[in-house]
Amino acid sequence: MQITPEVKAQLEEQKKQCVFCKLISGEMEAKKVFEDNIVIGMLDIYPAKKGHVLYMLKEHYPIMPYIPPDEFKHFFGLVPKVCGAIKEGLVTTGANLFIANGFVAGQKAAHFLANVFPRDNGDGFFNFLFKLRDNTLTEEQIKMLGHNFPLMMNNHFTRNPAEWHKGKGEVPNFLKEIYESSIPIYEDEKVLCILPNKELIGGHIEIYSKLEEKFIEKLSIEDSSHLFFTASFAATALFEGLKAQGTNIILKSGFSDDNKEGKLCVHVLPRSENDGLQGMMWEPKPPKDELDVVLKKIKEEVWKIKYVEEKKVEEKKREPEVIKIKVEKKESSSDEIRKALERIKN
Ligand SMILES: [Zn+2]
């Protein structure tokens, strides 16, 4: 990732003020759930609900487009194991992961992070209960997303060739109904992206794994990171195509009152000021449950969170041409980043 010297200096300044960097370095005390050399999870001391974990990269990146691909892969590759450990520790039936990109989307600090929530039927958490309506996108907008998004994914595969990727793959039975009732805008062997016929907001994109119907913890490191790479390009498509001022990425997995069928789905939502979706956010309030008890329960399961690099690496080294392409493409991606950052600053 090319970060210009200017931006780098700006980030260094930001880091000095960053509460999360202080919690990570130990300068401030944190309720650490687990950590490795790249990522860390800690309990939110003002949890939106019991078991609310802040899952972060140790390095300070204000927004998702800044995250270098290797760290992105590590972070999102571990999501299944993180969700799995929290679910098992607190014995729940589901999990959510929530990301706010940009102030209007509810981003509160300049340190990129994901909120992870264990979920259960009857847990009283209704922030992600979507009130859906008919699709409001114009035909032009639908066409544009259906055109731009696959292009971005193609560029992604050019930069990061994947042995398994040859084309569209097949739609598994458990996604047939969704496929037929919606507008598919991208698919490959591992994911299906659609514009649902009922949306939360215009531009609502849903991303399904073709490999697993319900439970995020069943996905491999590579399959999970691909799912979220796809989500991050969907977010970029919304920034650029629909001029969103921010985006939310919300993973639903397993059973809860707002996910009756337990389906595994990543929702990507464009956000703008006064768009009526502010109700998804929560107010910081003191915990109802003893945090140290919650911490202990989750900690018993975190030994399972381990990043094991999948082969690949050697193959890349054998192909100098691939590396060349990677360098060329970087300029355009840093342009995207600059644009996204400008929007967040405004
Ligand atoms: Zn920070």
Domains in the chain: boundaries:
5-345
Query: Taking residues 205-210, what's their average pLDDT?
Result: 98
| Predicted local distance difference test score (pLDDT) of residue 334 | 53
- Residues 98, 201: Cα–Cα separation, whole Å: 17
Query: Taking residues 213-219, what's their average pLDDT?
Result: 98
Distance 246 CA to ligand 1 centre (A): 20
Superfamily for the 5-345 domain: HIT-like (3.30.428.10)
Among 68-72, 244-248, 294-298, 327-331, the range scoring the smallest mean pLDDT is 327-331
**CB-CB neighbours of 251 under 10 Å:** 25
Query: Taking residues 251-256, what's their average pLDDT?
Result: 98
Distance 333 CA to ligand 1 centre (A): 22
- Residues 66, 59: Cα–Cα separation, whole Å: 11
| Predicted local distance difference test score (pLDDT) of residue 327 | 43
The 10s digit of each residue's pLDDT in 104-122 is 999 999 999 999 999 999 9
Query: Taking residues 195-222, what's their average pLDDT?
Result: 97
What's the distance, Cα to Cα, between the start and end of the chain in Å?
Answer: 23
The protein residues having their C-beta less than 5 angstroms from ligand 1 (an ion) are 18, 20-21, 60, 111
- Residues 112, 322: Cα–Cα separation, whole Å: 29
What are the φ and ψ backbone dihedral angles of 221, each rounded to 5 degrees?
A: -55, -50
The 10s digit of each residue's pLDDT in 157-189 is 999 999 999 999 999 999 999 999 999 999 999
The 10s digit of each residue's pLDDT in 22-42 is 999 999 999 999 999 999 999
Half-sphere exposure of 116 (CA within 13 A, CB side): 30
| Predicted local distance difference test score (pLDDT) of residue 284 | 87
Distance 46 CA to ligand 1 centre (A): 18
Distance 109 CA to ligand 1 centre (A): 8
- Residues 311, 333: Cα–Cα separation, whole Å: 26
Distance 18 CA to ligand 1 centre (A): 5
> Which range is most confident: 13-17, 210-214, 288-292?
210-214
Residue 341 has pLDDT above 70, yes or no: no
- Residues 62, 107: Cα–Cα separation, whole Å: 10
pTM above 0.75, yes or no: yes
- Residues 266, 342: Cα–Cα separation, whole Å: 26
**Average pLDDT of every residue of the chain:** 90
- Residues 27, 29: Cα–Cα separation, whole Å: 7
Could you tell me where the DSSP H helices lie in the chain? Answer: 5-17, 19-25, 69-77, 79-90, 139-159, 173-181, 221-241, 291-299, 313-318, 320-345
